[in-house]
Structure 1
Amino acid sequence: MLDLIADSAPAAALRGSVTLYLLVNAAHVLGIGLLVGAIVTLDLRLLGAFRNAALAHLAPPLVRVAASGLGLAALTGLALFSTRPATYLENPAFLAKLALLALALLNLALLHAGRPWPAALAGGVVTGRLRLAAGVSLAAWIGALLAGRWIGFLQ
């Protein structure tokens, strides 16, 4: 399976073009910036910062920006992974990044599945559960960012 990924036309194109690789890598960084910037802002609001900004006004655009960033980062990340999948899967920093991404996405799913999130968006109180989810989110997304930067140092 890994050989099929590595031998694919997009992977070969990325390996064969410094310019294409640069553009995909830059798009990956942009996606991460959009994702983490929006998530950090929203999590800090849930933790008590920016209290003058109503969660109902702040959250919807931040969630859309984060989702767009996640989509861009995931798409470009898969493209970058395709250039050397076996090497990445042997890299402990890459594996740590995947684990932290899984934690962050599970935390997100649990947050949106519960009642405290829609209640807070409707003007209700930010519960301890939401604050805990925001803390986990901050740690997981920033940890994934750091692990991603660490990948290149372990190759």
Structure 2
Amino acid sequence: MDLIAASAPAAALRGSVTLYLLVNAAHVLGIGLLVGAIATLDLRLLGLFRASALGQLAPPLVRVAATGLGLAAVTGLALFSTRPGTYLENPAFLAKLALLVLALGNLALLHAGRPWREALADGPVGARLRLAAAVSLAAWLGALLAGRWIGFLQ
């Protein structure tokens, strides 16, 4: 952990309020893109927005979510590098990581299955997809809340 905290990017973030602010703002933007797109897609799978075909709605939402995930991951790692030991001792941070693993695992299972491909081709949205959407929504929102909780436990 000392090696991460001693890295040049971590030192730059700790030494510049402006740089830290910009990276933190980019992290929030990434989370907004990610959770906004995923929540919209999950809600569609759960039965809302039925006027919008899933096959048309899903591809751009998945790209927006992937962009948000990439931005949030890169900036999150940068923020983590400033105090890795402190974060690893924070129960909210550990909860956030666990929820991210759950959310990403659920995502991988969802996209690997035939029901997802069939739903994108305007097939039915069955119970398996609705369950995956509910788990997804709960996991991503839980990770968001745990992330906000981190600062209250430091």
Would you call these one fold, judging by a TM-score over 0.5? Answer: yes
* Alignment match, 2:142: 143
Runs of 4+ in structure 1 off by over 4 angstroms are: none
Structure 1 position 57, deviation (Å): 0.5
* Residues 121-140 of structure 1: pairs in structure 2 closer than 5 A: 121-140=120-139
Counterpart residue number, 1:17: 16
Aligned to 2:92: 93
Unaligned runs of 5+ in 1: none
Matched, 1:63 2:67: no
**What is the identity, as a one-letter code, of the residue corresponding to 1:150?**
W
- 1:5 CA displacement: 0.3
The alignment partner of 2:66 has SS state of helix
| Structure 1 residue 83, shift from structure 2 partner | 0.0
Give CA-to-partner distance per residue, 1:69-116, whole Å, 9 cap, x none. Answer: 000000000000000000000000000000000000000000011100
**What is the CA-CA distance between 1:66 and the residue it aligns to?**
0.2
SS of match in other structure, 2:12: helix
1:107 and 2:97 are equivalent in the alignment:
no
User: What is residue 75 of structure 1 aligned with on the other side?
Assistant: 74
Q: Distance in 1 between matches of 2:68 and 2:142?
A: 17
Task: Please give the alpha-carbon distance, in whole angstroms, between the structure 2 residues aligned to 1:75 and 1:116.
Answer: 31
Identity fraction in percent: 86
Measure the CA separation in 1 of the matches of 2:41 and 2:72.
19
Q: Once the two structures are superposed, what CA deviation does each residue of 1:101-150 show, in whole Å capped at 9, x if it has no partner?
A: 00000000000111000000011000100000000000000000000000
Residue 51 of structure 1 aligns to a residue whose secondary structure is: coil
Number of matched pairs: 154
In 2, Cα distance between equivalents of 1:9 and 1:149: 26
